[in-house]
Amino acid sequence: MTQPGGQPEHPGEFTINLQVVGDGIGVLQWNAPTNLETLTRAIGLATDDALIGRGLRRVEVALPLRDTMALRALHRSGFRREGVRRQAIRLPDGSLGDVALYARLVDDLSTGPAGFSGVMNSVLATKRVIAHVVFRDDTGRILLCDTHFKADWELPGGVVEPHESPQAGAIREVAEELSLTVTGLRLRVVDWMPPHLGWDDALEFIFDGGTLTDEQIARIVKQDSEIVAVHWVETERLGDHLSALGARRLRAALALDPGQIAYSEDGQTFTE
């Protein structure tokens, strides 16, 4: 290994190079395959030199996703995955491969339990969380929203934000969409949703918002940017307006006994 930015003494020997690309950012590259221990040590030394010795604030590495040994070396060195460039390189067999972008910042924790967790948090799978609320009127009809974004209607609610609990997300979404302030929501269903319409899979939490009073219904103001109209729908007509999954899931939720909570997958296979 040479010093970052140096030249190998002998052609073909393993070297790691740091290129400063401006504004406190460096890019690491190496020129030849090596073993895991050597690569891990080289990445660690070069990165420490860049962030501590040279005063950079960020070191980046881009490499093929299928290079599992190099990925492990980056993980061991405290680098966090920031994204994937799809079909960004031509592989030796002629096929197209994805490239992962990793980076380590000067103030990243890179050692110890917190450092390990931070790296794994950037690498392991994550799932969207969606929170919806079932509201009834005094005749038992269900409130559904006709949105600008899809043909089928849906319950009030939406995607939970990072570091937000499902219930807090449901309360926020109802306030944004309907101008309603609600508290004390009761969880009824947790459903795993398979990939659909370009979305990855997700977990949906359905809460029971109870029966709205006439005064609450009169105070509803729809969020024009997202909602075309708000409708009250009889339970026997839910299938006319919801997606097949949404109808299965909601019917099963409405069939639960008071206080009962259920888990489902794709709106089916409910268990207490």
Q: How confident is the model at residue 14 (pLDDT cuts 50, 70, 90)?
A: confident
Which stretches of the chain are assigned E, i.e. beta strand? 16-22, 25-30, 58-64, 80-90, 96-105, 128-136, 142-147, 157-159, 186-193, 202-211, 227-233, 262-265, 268-271
* Enclosing domain of residue 66: 15-122
Domain identity same for 78 and 208: no
Q: Which residue has the tokens 């009962």?
A: 260
Q: What would the mean pLDDT of 221-249 be, rounded to a whole number?
A: 94
Q: What would the mean pLDDT of 184-195 be, rounded to a whole number?
A: 93
Domain identity same for 103 and 148: no
Q: Which residue has the tokens 């409708």?
A: 231
Total structural domains within the chain: 2
Q: How confident is the model at residue 12 (pLDDT cuts 50, 70, 90)?
A: low
Is there a contact between 37 and 21 (Cβ–Cβ < 8 Å)?
no
Average pLDDT along the chain:
91
Q: What would the mean pLDDT of 119-145 be, rounded to a whole number?
A: 95
Q: Which residue has the tokens 């093929």?
A: 64
d(CA 204, CA 196): 13
**pLDDT of amino acid 4:** 44
Q: Which residue, of 122, 142, 165, is where some domain finishes?
A: 122
d(CA 186, CA 177): 19
Q: What is the dihedral of CA 144, 141, 220, 132, to 10 degrees?
A: -40
**pLDDT of amino acid 5:** 45
Domain identity same for 144 and 214: yes
Q: Which residue has the tokens 């970052």?
A: 4
Q: At residue 102, what are phi and psi to the nearest 5 degrees?
A: -120, 155
**pLDDT of amino acid 110:** 83
- Of 13-22, 201-210, 263-272, which one has max mean pLDDT? 201-210
Low-confidence winner among 11-15, 20-24, 93-97, 119-123 (lowest mean pLDDT): 11-15
**Comparison of pLDDT for 96 and 4, the residue scoring more:** 96
**pLDDT of amino acid 270:** 53
Instruction: Report the length, in residues, of the chain.
Output: 272
Q: Which residue, of 106, 122, 138, is where some domain finishes?
A: 122
What single string gives the DSSP state of each residue in 42-75? HHHHHHHIIIIIS--SEEEEEEETT-HHHHHHHH
Q: What is the pLDDT of residues 79-97, one digit of tens each?
A: 999 999 999 999 889 999 9
Residue 51 has pLDDT above 90, yes or no: yes
The reported pTM is: 0.83
Domain identity same for 66 and 164: no
Does some domain include residue 1?
A: no
Q: What is the 3-state secondary structure (H, E, C) of 167-187?
A: HHHHHHHHHHHHCCCCCCCEE
Q: At residue 33, what are phi and psi to the nearest 5 degrees?
A: -70, 150
Which of 28, 113, 118, 128 minimizes the C-alpha distance to 81? 118
d(CA 182, CA 207): 11
Q: What would the mean pLDDT of 161-181 be, rounded to a whole number?
A: 97
Q: Which pair of tokens denotes residue 238? A: 């839910």
**pLDDT of amino acid 48:** 94
Q: Which residue, of 98, 122, 146, is where some domain finishes?
A: 122
Domain identity same for 99 and 223: no
**pLDDT of amino acid 210:** 94
